Amino acid sequence: MQIYLLKEYFRIDCMTGNPIEQEFSDDFIKYENSMELECGRNQYVSFQIAFDSEGEEITKADVEFSDLKGENYSICKEEYSIYIEWFHKMDGRYVPDALIPIEWNTAKFRVPQDEKYLKGQRVGVLWVDLFIPGDAPPGEYCGKLAVSAGALDKRVFDIRVKVHGVTLEPRSRICADLNSYADSVSCAFPSLRANRDRYVDGSYFEVEKEFYRLAYDHRCTWHHLPYTHSGTIPQSFAPEVEGEGKNIRVKSWELFDRHYSGYYDGSAFKGSKWGGHPVLYSYLPFNITWPASYEKWGKKGYAIEFRRILREFTRHFEEMGWKETYFELFFNHKKIYRFFPYDGDETRFLDDSEFMDIFGALSKEAFEDTDVKFIFRTDSSWSYGHHYDSKYSDMVKMWVVNKCIFSWFPESVPVMKKKGNILFYYTGLDRLDANLMSLVSKPLECIMMGTDGFTLWNVQGFGEDYLATPLDNGRQAIWYPGHEFGYDKPIPSIRLKVLRNCMQLVDMIKAVEATPLMRKAKDIINRNYGYDDTSWWKEKPEFINDPPHTWTNAKLSDANPSINHVGSSLSPVVLDKIRSEILDVLSVEGF
C-alpha cells in the first residue's frame, strides 16, 4: 500500500491510480514526504491524501493533523476539514468529484468505498481544506500529518504553508454565479418531494439554505430563478397577492420574508468563515405574467398591477433594510416554449427588444425612487452587438452575455462601464474529466476581460444516478444532493473547491483594480497563459453584420469552438505558478 499527497488540481482515477489529466502526466507529482502550500490570509488552501491499496481492502484509515506552528502564531488543527472523494464513471474512467464531508460520520472512508458503484476500486482519496485565519501573520507555518491505513505503519508528512501578507476580504468582488431554476431543490431530495407542505412547514427552507450557504462558503452566489417558463411561481417564492387592477395588493409578506430574509440580511450565512453578509445578487419573481396577468397585456390594468406590486416591493425592501443585494428584474421566457411571444432571454429577433422598452418603462420610476438596488437584467447573446451601445443599455443595467459573442466585442466593455452597467459573461461547466484549468480560467477571464462576474448557466442538473455518472457528464452540476449519504443537504465537489480557491485569488486581484498592481497581475496571467491582452478576445466572424436572426447555432459553434474552454491546453500546475507569483506581488505591496 502507498500513501501519498497530491496538489488540488491533479485528480486520480480510482481504478488505475493514473492522473485524470493524463496529457500533463509529466507534471504529475506524488508527494511522498511533504506538501508545500501558498496562500494569503482569511482564505482556504487545499490538497489531497491518496491511499493506493494495491488491491488490499482498506476498512479504516486514521488521519491526524498537528497545529501549524509559525514564528509567533499557530494555526489550529481544527482549521482542517476532510472530505471523501467519490468517483463517477465516465468513458471507462473513474473521475472524482462529489465530496462527502467526513464529519457527517455517515460514510466512513474505505477502499472500495462502495461495492455497487466502485467495485474494484484501488485508490481512495481524501480532500483536505485548510483555512488560514485572517489574523495569521505572514510567514512560514509547519505542521505534521500522520496517516495510517490497513496494515501499513503510520506515515508522517510535513505540511508547510507559506502565508503571504495579503488578506482576502470577506465579500467577493467578482461574482461566480451558479445559476439554477426553481424548484430544483425539492426534486433532488425525496423527503422534500414527498412533502406537500414543504414550502410552509420550513423543511424546504432548511434544505435550500444549505445550497445558499454552500455557494457562499465557496465564494459563489447561488441564483435560483423563482418562476418557470409559464410564469408559475412556487409557493413562498413570491408574496401572495390579492385583488386585481387598482385593488391589487400584497396580501402577506410573512412567508416570503421567512423564505428570503436570511439571504437578504445575511443571517443565513452566520458562522461562515466570511461572516454573515447578504447574498450579492438575487432574482425577483416578477415575470411576464406575474404580478400582472398576461391576460391584461397591453392594457392599462397590466401596467397598474405591475407598478403597484413593484412599489410594494421597493417599500417593503426599504423597510427591511435589504440594501446590499442586487435584486434583478429578469425575463427568462423563451418563445420556443410556446407560452409567450418574446425571447426575454437571449433576444434574437430585434423586434423582440420591445419587451425591454415595455418593462423598462414599467419599472423606471420605482427603481429610480429607492435606494434598494433593484436592477433590470437581461441575458444577451445574438443581439449583444446591437444592444450594448443603444438605448437598451441605458435602461437595462445588468448584462449577462454569451461568452462566445461577448468575445467579439472588447469595445463593449468601456461602453458598458461608462454607463455604470454590471457586466457578466455566461458559460457552462465542462465535463467532469476536463482539465481543471478550464474551470479556473473562468474567474481569471473576468479579470482579463473586465467583467464583474460570470454565470454558469445550470449547476443543479444531477440526473437519475449521479453516483454513477451525473447528467450530461457533469456539465450541469457543481454540487450534489447529500441524501445518498443520509443528509438532506447538498455536498460540495472538487470542482467547487477548485473554483473557490481561484475565486479567492481573483478577489484579491480585483481589490487592487485601481492600482498599478492590477497591471502586474494581468501580466503574470498573460505570461503563464502565453497570451497578451488581445488573446482573450476573438476575431469577429464574417456574418457579424448580418441580422442576428439569420445566424445559426452551427455558425456560432464554428466561429469560436474553444472559447468556453480557455486554459484547457495548459498544465494544471500553471494555477500554482500564477497564484504564487501574484501573491508575491500583492504581499510585497502590503494589501
Partner 1 sequence: MKGYRVLDIDNVARIGLMFIDGDKLEEVLLDKLSTDYDDINYHHEYFMELKTTLMKIEKINPDLSLFAILWQLRPDNDNLSVPVIAGGSLPVERWFVTPVNEEMRKVFRTGKPAVFHRSGDASSYYYPVRNSAAEIVGVLELLDKQGIRCDI
Query: Interface with partner 1 includes 196 (CB under 8 A)?
Result: no
Cβ proximity to partner 1: between 151 and 336 the closer is 336
Query: Interface with partner 1 includes 199 (CB under 8 A)?
Result: no
DSSP-derived secondary structure letter, 273: T
Q: Which of 117, 274, 297, 537 binds partner 1 (CB under 8 A)?
A: 297
Cβ proximity to partner 1: between 225 and 309 the closer is 225
Cβ proximity to partner 1: between 85 and 346 the closer is 346
**What is the DSSP track for 492-516?**
-BHHHHHHHHHHHHHHHHHTTTTST
Distance (Å) of CA 424 to CA 175, 353, 461: 8, 20, 22
CB of 343 to partner 1, least distance (A): 8
Query: How far is residue 140's CA from residue 158's CA, in Å, rounded to a whole number?
Result: 12
Interacting residues of 298 by C-beta distance below 8 A, sequence separation 6+: none
CB of 546 to partner 1, least distance (A): 14
Query: Interface with partner 1 includes 543 (CB under 8 A)?
Result: no
For residue 183, whether the previous peptide bond is cis, meaning omega lies within 30 degrees of 0, is: yes
Q: Which of residues 558-587 bind partner 1 (CB under 8 A)?
A: none
CB atoms within 10 A of CB 408: 20
Cβ proximity to partner 1: between 319 and 354 the closer is 354
Q: Which stretch binds partner 1 (CB under 8 A): 13-21, 68-76, 144-152, 347-355?
A: 347-355
Cβ proximity to partner 1: between 382 and 479 the closer is 382
CB of 448 to partner 1, least distance (A): 29
Q: Which stretch binds partner 1 (CB under 8 A): 188-196, 208-216, 253-261, 292-300?
A: 292-300
Cβ proximity to partner 1: between 335 and 540 the closer is 335
Q: Which of residues 359-388 bind partner 1 (CB under 8 A)?
A: 382
Q: Which stretch binds partner 1 (CB under 8 A): 21-29, 307-315, 485-493, 546-554?
A: 546-554
Cβ proximity to partner 1: between 232 and 560 the closer is 232
Query: Interface with partner 1 includes 205 (CB under 8 A)?
Result: no
Q: Residue 309: CA atoms inside 13 Å, Cβ hemisphere, count?
A: 29
Query: How far is residue 2's CA from residue 549's CA, in Å, rounded to a whole number?
Result: 59
Q: Which stretch binds partner 1 (CB under 8 A): 200-208, 247-255, 529-537, 549-557?
A: 549-557
Query: Interface with partner 1 includes 342 (CB under 8 A)?
Result: yes
Q: By three-state DSSP, how is residue 155 classified? A: strand
Q: Which of 151, 194, 336, 514 binds partner 1 (CB under 8 A)?
A: 336
Cβ proximity to partner 1: between 331 and 382 the closer is 382
CB atoms within 10 A of CB 321: 11
Query: Interface with partner 1 includes 302 (CB under 8 A)?
Result: no
Q: Strands, E, within 7-151: which ranges?
A: 34-41, 43-52, 61-65, 68-69, 74-75, 80-90, 93-101, 123-132, 139-149
Query: Interface with partner 1 includes 295 (CB under 8 A)?
Result: yes
Query: Interface with partner 1 includes 552 (CB under 8 A)?
Result: yes
CB of 517 to partner 1, least distance (A): 42
Cell numbers of 215, please? 455557494
Alpha-carbon dihedral angle through residues 417, 419, 420, 423, given to the nearest 10 degrees: -50
Cβ proximity to partner 1: between 59 and 557 the closer is 557
Give the total of residues touching partner 1 (CB under 8 A): 27
Cell numbers of 228, please? 418557470
The Cα angle at residue 284 between residues 283 and 287, in degrees rounded to 5? 110
Cβ proximity to partner 1: between 43 and 347 the closer is 347
Letter string b/e over residues 523-545, b meaning 16 or more CB atoms within 10 A of that residue's CB: ebbbebbeeeeeebbbeebeeee
Cβ proximity to partner 1: between 232 and 469 the closer is 232
Alpha-carbon dihedral angle through residues 221, 223, 224, 226, given to the nearest 10 degrees: 130
Interaction mask 381-420, partner 1, x per CB under 8 A: -x--------------------------------------
Query: How far is residue 181's CA from residue 471's CA, in Å, rounded to a whole number?
Result: 16
Q: Which stretch binds partner 1 (CB under 8 A): 51-59, 110-118, 186-194, 329-337?
A: 329-337
CB atoms within 10 A of CB 70: 18
Contact 440, 498 (CB under 8 A): yes
CB of 235 to partner 1, least distance (A): 14
N residues, the chain? 591
Cβ proximity to partner 1: between 59 and 552 the closer is 552
Contact 100, 86 (CB under 8 A): yes
Distance (Å) of CA 281 to CA 78, 179, 225, 313, 374: 32, 11, 11, 16, 10
Query: Interface with partner 1 includes 164 (CB under 8 A)?
Result: no
Q: Which of 354, 365, 513, 558 binds partner 1 (CB under 8 A)?
A: 354
Contact 240, 255 (CB under 8 A): yes
CB of 339 to partner 1, least distance (A): 5
Query: Interface with partner 1 includes 294 (CB under 8 A)?
Result: yes
Q: Which stretch binds partner 1 (CB under 8 A): 235-243, 337-345, 463-471, 499-507?
A: 337-345
Q: Which of residues 221-260 bind partner 1 (CB under 8 A)?
A: 228-230, 232
Distance (Å) of CA 24 to CA 2, 409, 432, 568: 22, 33, 16, 11
Query: Interface with partner 1 includes 341 (CB under 8 A)?
Result: yes
DSSP-derived secondary structure letter, 106: S
Q: Which stretch binds partner 1 (CB under 8 A): 188-196, 236-244, 288-296, 311-319?
A: 288-296
Query: Interface with partner 1 includes 105 (CB under 8 A)?
Result: no
**What is the DSSP track for 175-230?**
EEEEEEESSTTGGG-HHHHT-TTTTTSSHHHHHHHHHHHHHHHTT-EEEEE-S-TT
Q: Which of 108, 246, 337, 562 binds partner 1 (CB under 8 A)?
A: 337
Distance (Å) of CA 179 to CA 223, 282, 288: 5, 10, 20
Q: Which stretch binds partner 1 (CB under 8 A): 188-196, 338-346, 406-414, 455-463?
A: 338-346
Query: How far is residue 297's CA from residue 366's CA, in Å, rounded to a whole number?
Result: 20
Interface residues with partner 1 (CB under 8 A) are 228-230, 232, 293-295, 297-298, 335-343, 346, 348-349, 351, 354, 382, 549, 552-553
